[in-house]
Structure 1
């Protein structure tokens, strides 16, 4: 009897998995087929579909609140940490640090006090709502930045803030969740102490796992095993750190940063790195799909009307608090040197601070026994829907009006032509140096060489045409050369580590030197133009 029940449960879980995957892929496909749908964030479409399913009382996923964080947070955070480049992030660590740490504290307080003052929510529950809404998730905005060429630094700050902000927000949420339940009491010294323990244990275990797997993958070259190790590291680190009493979120972020920037360089060949990156891209897409379907799926329509004033106050608090965080801390970070953020960049960072997957996961993870849980879910739903529908759809307008749209389409086309020229030259070298088979007519080889030379000439003409129309594109050749040279140097160090001739990875010496040379060359090029 028990076996039959277990089999039936497994069958139902598989059916739910397939339904969610089908719905997600269907929404993704339909959004690509119709041009007018492409302007709507994919995550917003998923929320709408989830709402529709909830309206007809079709529930896709049934998960306990305790499992929400353990299932959804590790892949969401690891995927973000894996993809962010430390090389770009370190130049913007000051504003990112201010936004991610002080910004979260300001956001929690800035949402909690107005909500508790003007609604029936108690302050402890309002603080929990503030913690849920302090996590930013600008996935669609970052994609728009890249598509329109909004600037590398702007994109890096938005991504970096979101990554570290999520970690701090989750820690704050876990510290606050016991207060409204009467399990713990709030005191500043105790909270700071617990925060230090949470972060310290998470970062420490994350470093051990990250560097351990990095050096382990040096010993073999099995792409599927290395891919599996990254998955095990994400979930394993989270569970181990949580068991030890630390922050699993900080552990996952640390592991993702180390494996993405160090382990993938010294322990994985380029093909493996591509396989692992594509795997995490799919996993991030799938988990995001489930989370955004869940928020629509879990909505109680009758309570939305009752809590409409709470939703409006939450939206206003989030928008105003975000403005205080970005303009206040942004200008404060400018005082400490580095490349300052101007008011146009700060405006886009303010308006682009969407809420999404992590906020939803936190809201759904609130214990069922907590009075006010449904209010938190409704308020988070309202804020997420507003940020996606209003802010997400108008960010492009802000970028254009503030003159922050770059030449990304031309740069992309130019990069494709450069890559095609390099590939065709390699094909030509292969044809010229290949050991010719006696079974193949020599004329066939000459004919193929002629075709490839013709294609190379055609591509060279297109590159020249783009350069004449867009002289600034010439800087892209320098940037790509710089990336190639730094990568060659880093790969050489990795080979020495694998051979046992070095004990630790060295920082690329050419990095700073090449940056200065490229800046000088670009400046001279602009003057010449």
Structure 2
């Protein structure tokens, strides 16, 4: 495509995305579903037919989406929900891929390799639509963390399993021991690459610590995101896993220790914008890529694939999460309904379908199958998901909770401003007199919020709302404190400060207290 035509196409896509954003807000429909429908409608307006390029999505779009998700992930929240996330993103993906492959193998007469490839591709979930709904409809933070964590880590396992099946297709042989060895090497190697590049960029002597310019910091994060993916691919490990690990290191260590508040805001705003733009282009191009005539001709096969995905999701969600109650806080049934219905396919499934080797005999049939499933998933489940989340009333805001969160917001913002003032004083930007005057103004806000919060803390339970999700018990805060106690005890065991017998009994008591807390 010539440069002039490319610019014309970009202008059309940007205008369409802007119009969809406005229209979706007015109609109260999911933005990504609107983009797909718009893509179907504007195909004839483009000067030349375009579509998704697998190389572009895998090497540019995917690292951006993974890195943005990783730097915004709170490790402490992940640690609190690691068990249900591990079940859904680990055994859940394997079980779902196997069920889908079995249904397509015997339902469509596919051979094993194509059936397994489609099974792995469609076992992946894309929760852009789900998270967008969560921003409009309040849900418990633990549910939101499970959804975000599952998406982050099932992308990792999907990429690894996809490459494993392709390797079997190339070599023509497979052994369980060899497959497990390849899986371990791919994941362990990717983690080491991500850790190395993450710490190299964010450590106390790393590049980020030497930069005080937000624009230079943005360039560094872009280089880390794209470079980590490429280095992982060159070394023969999963670039996606390496990007996630590097992003987690960046978000946990880099942004917390070596970036000022203003620079952190600039960095996170940039990555939010980058992720939004990439998702907008991907979902528009999904609609443009799909040929409705071909889809209609293959509709029975697509409906069978959709059916297989739903059956697989039912088993992986309701079956696996039924086990959680034996070793962690149970996941409520209403949350499981959201996890099941949020089984929406997206950009990674499309990219993996397009990256299928051209030598694969059923390649065109498989691509159509995946594209059709993604389309029905985005439109069907994407449009009805907001109604489902609202009807379940997952997290109604009581009066006391609203009051508490408003005071917490006042306290957090005032303290953040005071921290920034301290940095400005130390760096010599502010004179002492101006610093003290501005800091005292914020201190008034801090004192007022602390006094009001203390009064709420001291109220007796029967004086407060008994609504589900009420913050009067402050379970979220207590849970963080208990997790901090567990971390201190585990460190003491490793350093042989405490005997294991004493520490283990205390750890068991802490686990019992954690399990007794209500879901936040």
Q: TM-score by structure 1 length?
A: 0.76
Matched with 1:97 is 86
Q: Closer, same or farther in 2 for the Cα pair 1:289/1:372, shift >3 Å?
A: farther
- The equivalent of 1:494 in structure 2 is none
Q: Which residue of 2 aligns with 1:491?
A: none
Check conservation: 1:148, 1:408, Cα contact below 8 A.
no
Q: Which residue of 2 aligns with 1:236?
A: 227
Distance (whole Å) between structure 1 residues aligned to residue 159 and residue 281 of structure 2:
19
Q: For the residues of structure 2 that align with 1:94 and 1:485, how far apart are their CA atoms?
A: 19
Whether 1:188 and 2:181 are equivalent positions in the alignment is no
Kept after mapping to 2: 8 A contact 1:112/1:129: yes
RMSD of the TM alignment (CA)? 4.0
**Structure 2 segments unaligned to the other structure (5+ residues):** 422-431, 483-505
- Residue 344 of structure 1 corresponds to 334
Change (3 A) 1:251 1:75: same
Moved more, 270-279 or 375-384: 375-384
CA shift for structure 1 position 134: 1.2
* C-alpha separation in 1, matches of 2:320 and 2:301: 27
Q: Corresponding residue for 1:492?
A: none
Please identify, of 17-26 and 350-359, the stretch whose mean Cα deviation from structure 2 is larger.
17-26
Distance 1:375 1:41, change over 3 A: farther
Match of 2:291 in 1: 300
Partner of 2:272: 281
Question: Which residue matches 2:21?
Answer: 28
Alpha-carbon distance, 1:17 to partner: 3.6
Partner of 2:499: none
Matched, 1:389 2:382: no
Asked if structure 1 preserves the Cα contact closer than 8 Å seen for 2:290 and 2:372, the reply is no
In structure 2, do the counterparts of structure 1 residues 482 and 113 end up closer, same or farther at CA, with 3 Å as the change threshold? closer
1:41 and 1:148 map into 2 onto residues whose CA distance is: 12
Question: 2:318 maps to what in 1?
Answer: 327
Whether 1:172 aligns to 2:130 is no
Structure 2 equivalent of residue 310 of structure 1: 301
**Alpha-carbon offset, residue 469 of structure 1:** 8.9
In 2, the alpha carbon distance for the partners of 1:196 and 1:344 equals: 35
The match for 2:255 is 264
Q: How high is the TM-score relative to the length of structure 2? A: 0.77
Cα distance change of structure 1 residues 283 and 242 upon mapping to structure 2, 3 Å threshold: same
CA distance in 1, matches of 2:411, 2:172: 64
Structure 1 partner of 2:111: 122
Quick one: distance in 1 between partners of 2:129 and 2:58? 22
Aligned residues: 461
Distance 1:136 1:469, change over 3 A: same
How far does the alpha carbon of each residue in 1:476-498 deviate from its partner, in whole angstroms, 9 at most, with x for none? 89699999999xxxxxxxxxxxx
> Does residue 1:223 correspond to 2:190, yes or no?
no
SS, match of residue 125 in structure 2: coil
The aligned counterpart of 1:251 is 242
| 1:19 aligned residue | 12
Judge conservation of contact 2:33–2:383 (CA < 8 Å) in 1.
no
Residue 353 (structure 2) aligned to one of 363, 377, 396: 363
Aligned to 1:69: 58
Which residue number corresponds to residue 85 of structure 1?
74
Instruction: Show the 5 A alignment for 1:423-502.
Output: 475=471
| 1:186 Cα offset (Å) | 3.6
Where 2:87 maps in the other structure, the secondary structure is helix
* Match in the other structure for 2:429: none
Decide whether aligned partners of structure 1 residues 57 and 26 sit closer, same or farther in structure 2, where only a CA change above 3 A counts: closer
Cα deviations across residues 7-38 of structure 1 (Å, max 9, x unaligned)? Answer: x8444444444433333223213323x2xx22
Structure 1 unaligned blocks of 5 or more: 1-7, 436-444, 487-511, 524-529
Are the aligned partners of 1:41 and 1:393 in contact in 2 as well (CA < 8 Å)?
Answer: yes
Show the 5 A alignment for 1:138-149: 138-149=127-138
Which moves more between the two structures, 158-167 or 352-361?
352-361
TM superposition shift of 1:107 = 1.3
Q: Name the SS of the counterpart of 1:407 in structure 2.
A: coil
